[in-house]
Amino acid sequence: MKLMSKIFIALFLLSTSKNIAANVMCYDPTGPSWRNLVYKTLNINNSSISWSGPANTLSPGTSLASWSDSATDYSFFSCPGITYISSDSHNPQTWIISSKTPLNGFTYTLNGVTYPVFPTGAQGIGYILGAADPNKVLTPLGSTALQMFSTTDGGKTLGVKYLFRYVITGPLKSGITNIPSQQIGTIQMRDGPTVLAAGSSPIFLKSATLTVTAATCTVNTNNIFVTLPSIDITKLSAVGSTSTPSNFNISLTCPGGINTYMVMTDNTNTANRSDRLSLVPSSIAKGVAVQITKADGSLVKFGPDSANPGTANQFLVFNNLSGTQSIPLTARLIRTGPITPGSLTAIATYTFSYQ
């Protein structure tokens, strides 16, 4: 019976030791005794940011270096006096965890490193965050916990460096956008490979204001109705034959310094990327399409309804436009197959991009 009692006590002591395996504290070898590790709070301050320029220069997925905040703290975790950092496994580790879910499919690449982008709660603007030990490469804040640093017992401090940057996630309008104060993550101290945190420190994003002054043009021409003259089908004798063009213009008034781009979209078939504008289904005529030509005689190819720079088939209409100008265009018919006579209608929309 005494032997059984001793075995029971030994197992109990082993179990107790295992339950405290998530301890990372300050060890005093003169005691010996333990003291609590000192944690700091990571506060990200970028209280006032601004931008001015052509409205579509800042498209989703872009950012500015001035919209960043970074710092290095070599004693983010520390032990006072003669004590030093120690853990049960003799392997203290620092980890970073997000408080939010990143935007689906939205990333930003900086210095060759890809970062998930997180929402700020303000329309059109998100953020990225990277953190690491001061002597290590930045670890992007992601959707799961990521290890920043792993070491052994004996150090008095463990540091943290970080890089924060705002990223455009949607259209920005002129005016002031308020970004609320919020906790965006946590830095944890862990004991070796255990998933339990021995302690944690919050990451706070302080409130900020984004002031945008977006330069745009005034479109002086709204809906445009272009009437093509009646044509004898014998004038379109073969596929590819074209009719005499009809002229029309789009008028713009712009402040100085704007490069103005335009894309036209086939309203009937928005996926159309050709130079032939579809007829609306109610058209009686068949076997023809409409083509639009620019001032230089080249054909307009149709693209998506988007003002983002680099949109498919977007083209430059004015470089450094200032004042009021007109964009000269023409419309004509082109034969595409066997012709059925009758009336026809085709509709295109146009979208300007200010870059």
Q: Domain holding 272: CATH number?
A: 2.60.40.1090
**278 and 207 fall within a common domain:** no
Q: What pLDDT score does 22 carry?
A: 62
What contacts 15, CB < 8 A, 6 or more positions away? Answer: none
pLDDT above 70: residue 17: no
Q: pLDDT digit string (tens) for 272-313?
A: 999 999 999 999 999 999 999 999 999 999 999 999 889 999
The answer as to whether 286 is a domain residue is yes
User: Per mean pLDDT, which range of 31-40, 167-176, 253-262 is the poorest?
Assistant: 167-176
The tally of domains found in the chain comes to 2
Q: What pLDDT score does 41 carry?
A: 93
**89 and 175 fall within a common domain:** yes
The answer as to whether 16 is a domain residue is no
The answer as to whether 8 is a domain residue is no
What contacts 208, CB < 8 A, 6 or more positions away? Answer: 46, 47, 48, 49, 178, 179
Rounded mean pLDDT, 263-275: 98
Rounded mean pLDDT, 141-146: 89
The answer as to whether 315 is a domain residue is yes
pLDDT above 90: residue 346: yes
Report how far residue 102's alpha carbon sits from residue 115's, in angstroms, rounded to the nearest whole number: 10
Please tell me what DSSP assigns to residue 37.
P
**200 and 263 fall within a common domain:** no
Q: How many CA atoms lie within 13 A of 273 on its CB side?
A: 6
**179 and 221 fall within a common domain:** no
**235 and 130 fall within a common domain:** no
Contact, 263 vs 314, CB < 8 A? Answer: yes
The answer as to whether 11 is a domain residue is no
Placement of tokens 């920005």 in the chain: 172
Rounded mean pLDDT, 65-82: 91
Of the chain, the percentage scoring pLDDT greater than 70 comes to 94
pLDDT above 90: residue 47: no
pLDDT above 80: residue 40: yes
Q: Is 8 exposed, middle or buried (0-12, 13-18, 19+ CB in 10 A)?
A: exposed
Alpha helices in 86-169 (DSSP H): none
Q: Domain holding 209: CATH number?
A: 2.60.40.1410
Q: Which residue has the higher pLDDT, 16 or 255?
A: 255
Beta-carbon count within 10 A of 325 CB: 18
Q: Which residue has the higher pLDDT, 5 or 311?
A: 311
Which residue pairs from 16-20 have beta carbons closer than 8 angstroms and sit at least 24 positions apart in sequence?
17/88, 20/88
**154 and 177 fall within a common domain:** yes
**236 and 304 fall within a common domain:** yes
Of the three residues 181, 214, 247, the one that is the final residue of a domain is: 214
**Beta bridge pairs of residue 146:** 96
Q: Which residue has the higher pLDDT, 238 or 20?
A: 238
Q: What pLDDT score does 42 carry?
A: 93
Q: Is 213 exposed, middle or buried (0-12, 13-18, 19+ CB in 10 A)?
A: exposed
Q: Is 274 exposed, middle or buried (0-12, 13-18, 19+ CB in 10 A)?
A: middle
Phi, psi of 15 (to 5 degrees): -65, -40
Of the three residues 161, 182, 214, the one that is the final residue of a domain is: 214
Q: What pLDDT score does 282 carry?
A: 97
| Predicted confidence band of residue 173 (pLDDT cuts 50, 70, 90) | confident
Domain with 197, as residue range(s), is 21-214
Q: What pLDDT score does 222 carry?
A: 83
**Beta bridge pairs of residue 326:** 251
Q: pLDDT digit string (tens) for 185-215?
A: 999 999 887 767 788 899 999 999 989 888 8
The answer as to whether 341 is a domain residue is yes
Q: What pLDDT score does 11 carry?
A: 32
The answer as to whether 7 is a domain residue is no
pLDDT above 60: residue 14: no
Please give the structure tokens belonging to residue 234.
């014998």
Rounded mean pLDDT, 106-130: 93
**242 and 119 fall within a common domain:** no
pLDDT above 90: residue 122: no
| Predicted confidence band of residue 31 (pLDDT cuts 50, 70, 90) | confident
**188 and 298 fall within a common domain:** no
Which residue pairs from 222-229 have beta carbons closer than 8 angstroms and sit at least 24 positions apart in sequence?
224/248, 224/250, 226/331, 228/290, 228/331, 228/332, 228/333
Q: What pLDDT score does 13 carry?
A: 31
The answer as to whether 3 is a domain residue is no
pLDDT above 50: residue 51: yes
**243 and 178 fall within a common domain:** no
Of the three residues 198, 214, 230, the one that is the final residue of a domain is: 214
**77 and 46 fall within a common domain:** yes
Alpha helices in the chain (DSSP H): 2-19
Q: Is 332 exposed, middle or buried (0-12, 13-18, 19+ CB in 10 A)?
A: middle
Q: pLDDT digit string (tens) for 82-95?
A: 999 998 889 999 99
Report how far residue 262's alpha carbon sits from residue 183's, in angstroms, rounded to the nearest whole number: 41
Rounded mean pLDDT, 345-353: 96
pLDDT above 70: residue 257: yes
pLDDT above 50: residue 218: yes
Per-position b or e across 333-348, b if 16+ CB within 10 A of its CB: bbbbeebeeeebebeb
Q: How many CA atoms lie within 13 A of 78 on its CB side?
A: 11
Positions of E strands within 238-314: 246-266, 286-293
**35 and 128 fall within a common domain:** yes
Q: How many CA atoms lie within 13 A of 65 on its CB side?
A: 1
